[in-house]
C-alpha cells in the first residue's frame, strides 16, 4: 500500500528523468494504484501519506561509444493521496474521477538524454539540458486491465516537443506479490526526437553526419512488482523494454535499436 506515491516517485524519477526517451506515465500510474493506501480515505486530497525511500536502476545505453549500461540511484520523497501526488518526481492532480476513469494534470522533470562527455564520439555535441514537461493524463478500466494515456509538452524551452503515450496494463496477484504486465506505444514529436538524436550543422564532423529526424512511435513493454515487507515498508521492482524506431537508429549517435531497464526500490510510508 505504501507504494502509492513511491511507486510514482520511483518511476517518475528513474524512468522519466533517467530515461527521457519515454515518459511512460502509464507505468507510474500503475505503480501508484498497486498499493494505494488512501483509496477509501474520507479526504481524497489531504488524507494521504508521506513516503520516503530509495530506488536504483540499471539501463542499457544506446548512444554510440558510451558505456553499455548506466547505473543510477536516487532518494525518494513524496506526498500521496487518492487524488493528489506531489513529489521530487513531479505532480499528478486528479481533476476529475469516478469509479471507472480519471483525468489528471501531470508534470515532471525530463533529464537530458546525453552529455558530450559520455563518450569520445559524442565530444563536440551540445549537452542536452534538463527540462520540465506538463500535460494531462487519463486512465480507465477496460476489460481485465486498465488503459492509461498521457500527453506531455515542454514548458521550460528545453526541447519544445510533445509526447503522447497510450498503455494497457493487466494485473496479476500471486500471494502477497502484485504484478502488472503492460504494453504500449509512445509518440514523440519531431523536436523531441531531435532532442535525443539530432546532429546540428555545427556538430558535424568527418565521422558524424548532419541528422534531423521526423516524429516517431516507440513501442514498449513494461512490468511492475510490489511486495509488502511490513505494513509500512514495501519493496518494488520494475522492468522495461523499448524498441527504438528508425528515426532513432538512423541517427549517427545511436548504436542500438532497443533500451532495456530494470530497477529495485524500497519505500517507507508514514
This prediction has a pTM of 0.88
Cα gap 160→214, rounded to integer Å: 14
- pLDDT for res 89: 74
Give the confidence band of 179 by pLDDT, cuts at 50, 70, 90. very high
Instruction: Please state the domain count of the chain.
Output: 1
- pLDDT for res 75: 87
Q: What mean pLDDT is predicted for residues 180-195?
A: 98
Q: Which domain holds residue 13?
A: 3-269
Residue 189 is part of a domain; what is its CATH number?
A: 2.40.160.40
- 100-111 pLDDT per residue, tens: 999 999 999 998
State the chain's mean pLDDT as an integer: 88
- 153-175 pLDDT per residue, tens: 999 999 999 999 999 999 999 99
Give the confidence band of 17 by pLDDT, cuts at 50, 70, 90. very low
Amino acid at each position: 500500500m505504501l507504494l502509492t506515491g513511491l511507486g510514482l516517485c520511483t518511476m517518475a524519477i528513474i524512468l522519466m528523468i533517467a530515461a527521457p526517451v519515454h515518459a511512460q506515465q502509464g507505468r507510474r500510474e500503475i505503480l501508484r494504484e498497486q498499493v494505494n493506501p488512501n483509496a477509501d480515505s474520507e479526504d481524497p486530497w489531504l488524507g494521504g501519506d508521506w513516503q520516503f525511500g530509495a530506488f536504483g536502476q540499471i539501463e542499457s545505453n544506446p548512444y554510440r561509444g558510451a558505456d553499455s549500461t548506466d547505473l543510477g540511484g536516487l532518494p525518494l520523497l513524496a506526498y500521496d493521496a487518492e487524488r493528489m501526488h506531489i513529489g521530487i518526481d513531479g505532480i499528478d492532480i486528479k481533476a476529475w474521477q469516478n469509479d471507472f476513469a480519471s483525468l489528471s494534470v501531470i508534470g515532471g522533470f525530463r533529464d537530458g538524454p546525453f552529455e558530450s562527455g559520455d563518450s569520445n564520439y559524442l565530444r563536440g555535441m551540445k549537452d542536452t539540458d534538463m527540462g520540465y514537461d506538463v500535460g494531462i493524463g487519463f486512465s480507465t478500466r477496460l476489460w481485465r486491465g486498465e488503459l492509461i494515456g498521457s500527453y506531455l509538452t515542454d514548458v521550460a524551452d528545453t526541447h519544445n516537443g510533445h509526447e503522447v503515450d497510450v498503455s494497457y496494463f493487466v494485473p496479476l496477484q500471486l500471494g502477497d506479490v502484485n504484478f502488472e504486465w503492460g504494453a504500449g506505444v509512445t509518440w514523440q514529436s519531431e523536436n523531441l526526437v531531435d532532442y535525443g538524436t539530432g546532429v546540428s550543422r555545427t556538430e558535424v564532423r568527418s565521422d558524424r553526419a548532419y541528422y534531423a529526424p521526423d516524429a516517431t512511435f516507440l513501442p514498449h513493454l513494461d512490468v511492475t512488482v510490489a511486495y509488502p515487507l511490513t505494513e509500512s515498508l514495501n519493496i518494488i521492482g520494475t522492468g522495461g523494454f523499448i524498441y527504438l524506431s528508425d528515426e532513432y537508429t538512423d541517427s549517427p549517435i545511436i548504436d542500438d535499436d532497443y533500451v532495456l531497464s530494470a530497477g529495485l526500490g524500497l519505500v517507507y510510508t508514514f
